[in-house]
Amino acid sequence: AQTVTQSQPEMSVQEAETVTLSCTYDTSESDYYLFWYKQPPSRQMILVIRQEAYKQQNATENRFSVNFQKAAKSFSLKISDSQLGDAAMYFCAYRSLDGYNQGGKLIFGQGTELSVKP
């Protein structure tokens, strides 16, 4: 079974600075998807960024980028120019490429609570 681990329960960053959130995962599959979700105090789950394991190029979305190291099974999220609105819980998640047989379900890490200091 696949597992996702986020070893940093809490992180803090100064506004306008850069912060990196860590995520490792375990799988025997060679193809899969990885995601970062943001959960602000409103509890809404917001997709931040998505990475296909078969792509070597790291995904980027504006100020958000990932460092995907497939061999090391590592998937970190970098937030540049941090803003107050980035304060939230961030979840790393894994999904098998075998969507039909695996039910398309996401496997989540424990989350990292990010605070942004003005």
User: Does residue 32 contact residue 94 with C-beta atoms inside 8 Å?
Assistant: yes
The nearer residue to another protein, 55 or 63, going by C-beta atoms, is: 55
Residues between 20 and 59 with contacts to another protein, criterion CB under 8 A: 31-33, 42-45, 47, 50, 52
Closest CA to 29 of 59, 6, 47, 52: 52
Instruction: Decide if residue 109 touches another protein (CB under 8 A).
Output: yes
Distance from C-alpha of 65 to C-alpha of 59, rounded to nearest angstrom? 6
| Binding region for another protein (CB under 8 A) | 4, 6, 9, 31-33, 42-45, 47, 50, 52, 91, 95-100, 103-111
